[in-house]
Structures are given as C-alpha cells and as structure tokens.
Structure 1
Amino acid sequence: MHTTILPPALYTWVAEQRRTGQSIERLRKAMLDKGWSEQDAEVALGESDQRADKAHGTHETTDVAVTVKLPAPDLSAAPQYLTVDGQRIKVLQTLEHPRIVVFADFLSDEECELLMASARPRLERSTVLGKEESVLSKKRTSEGMFFRRQETELVGRIEQRISTLLNWPLEFGEGIQVLRYGPGAEFAPHHDYFDPRHFEKPLLRGGQRVATLIMYLHEPEQGGATVFPEINLSIFPAKGSAVFFSYHKPDPSTLSLHGGAPVIAGEKWIATKWLREGKFI
C-alpha cells in the first residue's frame, strides 16, 4: 500500500483554517483546486482533526515544523572537499546555529557564464510576495528571472548537484532564480520562509521552505555581500562559490534573517535555489 507523506506545513495550514471556522468541505475544495489528490486531502483533513483533538488535552500543541528532516551536506567526517557530479567542491566555513555552510567551486566558471547568458534575455525587475500577488518593492531592487525545473541541460545538471550535495529530493526544490544586482541594487534583510499567518497559498505548492542555496555567478568590484545581521556575518561574493543555510521552522529564532548589501561598484549575479519540505508543484 502506497502512503503519501504530506508536508507538515499543510497540517498547520488546515489547523489554522479550522480555527477560523472554515469548513472541511471548503478546505477540501481549496486543496483540490491547488492540485492535491482526493486521497491527500482526506489524509490531511482527517489527520489534522486528530491532531487538533490531541491539542485539546493538557499538552501544548507541538510545533510540527521542528520535526522536519532538513536538507544538509554530509560533513560528519569533517571533509575539506566533497566531489559531486565530477565537481570538486571545497568546504570553506560552517556554522551550527544558524546552520550555514559556505562552499568554494560549487560551479565552474563556464557554468556561471552559461547560466548568466541564458538568464539575461528574460530579466525583469524583481518583486516580493504580497498578500495576494507579487509586487514591486523598494526593499528589493534587483532584476531576476526563474528557470523551470530541469528546463535546460545545464539547469538540470546544477539541480541534480544540489540534490546530491544536500541529500534532498530534486522534486522538493523550486526552480532556480537568477538575479542581477547593478550599482546601488540591494535586498533588505528578510526571511525566506513563508509566514503561515499571512501566506497560505504558497504553502500548498510543496509546504514550507526549509533551506536556501545562494550561488554566486559574478562578483562585484565593491559591496554586495550576503549579510546575516543577527549574527554579524557577511559573506562576500566569489564567482563559483555558494552559501547554504537552513531553517527548521518559520520563526525568527532560526536566526536566518539575511539580505543582500548594496552593490557599490560593478555587478553581482547570483542564482538562488529554495528547497521545500515536500514536492514542489
């Protein structure tokens, strides 16, 4: 018998909707409209009710996101290099809380150049997620575009490398986003996870975001560091390098607040891969 493993964020969403008075039938219709199967809807709605019943006892409700298995490279043997897909990747820096790993030589120079060339014709002003749709914001002044998952041979190869390195299913990843930051462009500090109190629809496409990989395609002459202001960490772009960080729940306590400092001179190009806790649809 096949058992579907549904993302914990889906149960969180169902529970929150039930607390606001939404009916089971309305929630089922919403799930079906978003592409979930009848079986998945029944499992999510039925198990959510069971969880809610347990929460009515003397114990507080458990934060389900904490139990999610996270993407992560295998660094148990303290390796200085990891070879994936023939690419010899150097481990430069690690941090436990927040979980951050910095890699050198994640991409070759040729891969960086080809990815930028493929993305350039499709660049548009970057947006941020609003309550109903994506909107322009002074907090994010880059240009960007998304590749569909496995859209090209190059994109597919990079996605498989990410999946292997981070021990995470390829289908649990969003499409790669390429961003260009010219002089003065920045992205103010933000979290990559979706606040379930305000963003319901994104959670239905694969559950919560649980990790981010930023790949540097082109380094500016000045500025453009990836900053983690809560821990006073700045990671300066180096062509071909990458920074990985994960967040076990959608909460500021993960210390995953980060941003892109303004580019002072030159251009910064990055490619970002967000990983979900379930299959991204």
Structure 2
Amino acid sequence: MEKLLDKWVNQTNWNENIASALATFCKLENLEISKKTIFENYIGGEKMANFSEVSRFCTEWGIDHIGLNFVKKHLDNQFLPAFVLMDKYHTVLVIKIKNDEVYFFDGVRGLIQESIDSFFERSMGHIVLVEVGNYKKEAYYQKHVKEENERIKKISDHFSVKIIDHFLTSEECDLLKEKGESLYVRSQVSASEGNGSEISSIRTSSSAFLVQKDSFFDDIRERAAQLINLNKERFESIQLTSYTKGQLYDAHSDAFADYDTDALKEGQRTDTVLVYLNDDYEGGGTFFPYLNKIIKAKKGRAVTWKSLDENGKIDPLGTHGGLPVMNGRKYICNLWARNTDQSNWK
C-alpha cells in the first residue's frame, strides 16, 4: 500500500483540497489530465471549492459519475475509487477496503487508514462514485507535465535537503532508543498565542528530551554540527520522537513564528538534523509539500535542511511533516540548531 503514495498529489494551500483529490484520482487512474489544469480550474477563490466541483470535473472531462447519499455499503472495493465529503471543506479519495479498514488519500496527510465505522461516522453523508471509460484527454497534457517537473526541479535546486546515510550506526540508534524509552510524553506544539506549548491534533506523537549530561549525546551533537558547519553549542537538547500506527505530524516549520515570543527568547531555530533510528515500519515518511518530496526511513540516515531563508525569515520550502505510520512504530531523533548559544540550558 505504501507504494501508492507515489500517486498522491498534495495540497499546499487551504483552498486546494478538491484539486488535490481530483489530481490524485487522475494519477491513480493514469488519466491524461494535468495537475496544472486541475489546480487552475477546480479550486476556490474567496471560498473553498465545494463538493459539487467533483461532479463538474467529471462532467467536463467525460467521466461517468453519480452522486449519492453515502451509506456503509458503498465502502466496498467494487465501488472504488470514490470521493467522500468528510466535512464542509474537506473531500477525500477512498481507494481500498481491507480488513474492515478504509484506505484513503487526504490532501494534507497522504495515505491514511481508518476503521470503516470511524470513517463512516466522521463523514458528511455524501459520495461520488466514478467510472472512467472513454474520457476526454487533455490536449496539452505532456507540455503541462514537463512544465510541472521543471518547476519542482527549479525549487529543489534552490532549496537543499541533504541525505546522509550511516550518520549513526545501528548500535548507536538502538542505544538512543533505549536511553529515551522511559521518558516519552505526548508531543506538543507552540501555542497559537505564543504562550508556551500545547497538545494538538496536528501532532499526535510522543517525545522525549535527553537533557542529562552524557558524552554520547555530546558526540552526536558534534557530528551534527560538522554536517552543517555550525558550533555544537548552537544545538538544543536532543529530542526523540516516537510514532505508533496512525500517528503523524502535519506540515509545519521547525522555526518559530513571530508571535511565539516565549520560544524566541532562546533564539530562532535555523537548521534541522533529523535522524531515523529504525526502519522496520510502514508509512511515516518525511514529506516536504512544496518540494513534492517524500524521504523514506533508513536506520541511521540523517536528513538536514534550513528553516530560514537568506533574509532570516521562515522559508516555506522548509515546511515538512511526518506522514501517518501505517504499521509498526517509528523512532526519530531531532537535532535543532538555533541562532544563539544553547549551552546554558541543556
């Protein structure tokens, strides 16, 4: 199932939900209708594109479809793929039913699995069933695909995400996991008003900060500093994060927003070094929505990127997320560097 993520076309803005679902459907079904055309014609302006855009799209491109009141019997592979309205502004593409679970594409969170009962309970009661048949192919499809590929390459050339395999040995990964195992608590995010941190549905993992003095931790920070040419004293305490089945972290920047005055007192985050401590799980890739890039785990692999642009402002290209874990348990190590010395509060 994880290979299906290659078919996912994500949204990067609030009004691209319908376009994301439609473009993913076209990629899944190998339809020659480009992302460019879909994202230019089937998103909202002042208001979010509504569910009727699915029917309009199908009508305009000659795709057989029928809109129905959603009942549980529709959650059957013979009716899939299908578009389901989850709330007023949120449509998903259901692609498979397996072992009483629904597999569907979400514009922000990628491929998700959820129990049939839970999925049906959350839905708004509307579904569009589709059957491709003889559809209208887009005349400029190849041209638009080439332009999109060139656009992504240009962005990727400008913003560097570096992958370094064997940053930690397998034994070092296991030792880090062991040292943090008894320290995990529910992960938090910066509070919306900038006053401390809070638990949020956008981040459902557990985290552990390794704050104690330890030569092993110092050595890891030193190696991370060498990767990105910084002094190791710029790094915060090491954070370990664990994700079990279904847990995720929505797209975000590691840098702090201007309103997050409490966090900024200790300096702004400038760089991230993320290390995968295991790879014996499914899903859970690290996703960069503006780069259209998913990095898969490899035990001991480090990934580095900058959170700020050349003017010291938050760079949206550094936006990233942890996609849902589908099976198993994911462990990562986060090393965040700031623009000030952090040695006083480690």
TM interval, shorter chain, is: 0.5 to 0.7
Are the counterparts in 1 of residues 270 and 308 from structure 2 also a CA contact under 8 Å?
Answer: yes
Are the counterparts in 2 of residues 98 and 247 from structure 1 also a CA contact under 8 Å?
Answer: no
Q: Confirm or deny that 1:277 pairs with 2:344.
A: no
SS across alignment from 1:231:
coil
Q: Confirm or deny that 1:199 pairs with 2:257.
A: no
Tell me how far 1:253 sits from its aligned partner. Answer: 4.4
Identity %: 33
Which residue in 2 is equivalent to 1:171? Answer: 233
Are the counterparts in 1 of residues 255 and 308 from structure 2 also a CA contact under 8 Å?
Answer: no
Of the candidates 214, 219, 222, which is equivalent to residue 160 of structure 1? 222
Paired with 1:214 and 1:199, the residues of 2 have a C-alpha distance of 23
Which residue in 2 is equivalent to 1:208? Answer: 268
SS across alignment from 1:230:
coil
Q: Confirm or deny that 1:138 pairs with 2:209.
A: no
Q: Confirm or deny that 1:120 pairs with 2:181.
A: yes
Amino acid corresponding to residue 225 of structure 2 in structure 1: S
Q: What stretches of structure 1 of length at least 5 have no aligned partner?
A: 1-94
Are the counterparts in 2 of residues 174 and 275 from structure 1 also a CA contact under 8 Å?
Answer: yes
Paired with 1:125 and 1:246, the residues of 2 have a C-alpha distance of 26
Q: TM-score, normalised by structure 1?
A: 0.63
Paired with 2:322 and 2:166, the residues of 1 have a C-alpha distance of 21
Which residue in 2 is equivalent to 1:79? Answer: none
Q: Confirm or deny that 1:108 pairs with 2:108.
A: no
Which residue in 2 is equivalent to 1:49? Answer: none
Per-residue CA distance 1:116-164 (angstroms, 9 max, x = gap)? 000000111111111212111111111111112x721221111111122
Per-residue CA distance 1:234-264 (angstroms, 9 max, x = gap)? 0001100010001334646441110000000
Q: Show structure 1 runs of 4+ deviating over 6 A.
A: none
Paired with 1:140 and 1:175, the residues of 2 have a C-alpha distance of 20
Q: Confirm or deny that 1:235 pairs with 2:299.
A: no
Which residue in 1 is equivalent to 2:285? Answer: 225
Per-residue CA distance 1:46-103 (angstroms, 9 max, x = gap)? xxxxxxxxxxxxxxxxxxxxxxxxxxxxxxxxxxxxxxxxxxxxxxxxx543221011
Are the counterparts in 1 of residues 308 and 314 from structure 2 also a CA contact under 8 Å?
Answer: no
Paired with 1:247 and 1:139, the residues of 2 have a C-alpha distance of 19
Which residue in 2 is equivalent to 1:247? Answer: 307
Question: Structure 1 stretch 213-222 or stretch 173-182: which is displaced more?
Answer: 213-222
SS across alignment from 2:331:
strand
Are the counterparts in 2 of residues 99 and 247 from structure 1 also a CA contact under 8 Å?
Answer: no
Question: Structure 1 stretch 181-190 or stretch 157-166: which is displaced more?
Answer: 157-166
Higher relative contact order (CA 8 A, sep 6+): 1
SS across alignment from 2:179:
helix
Which residue in 2 is equivalent to 1:151? Answer: 213
Paired with 2:235 and 2:332, the residues of 1 have a C-alpha distance of 17
Which residue in 2 is equivalent to 1:99? Answer: 160
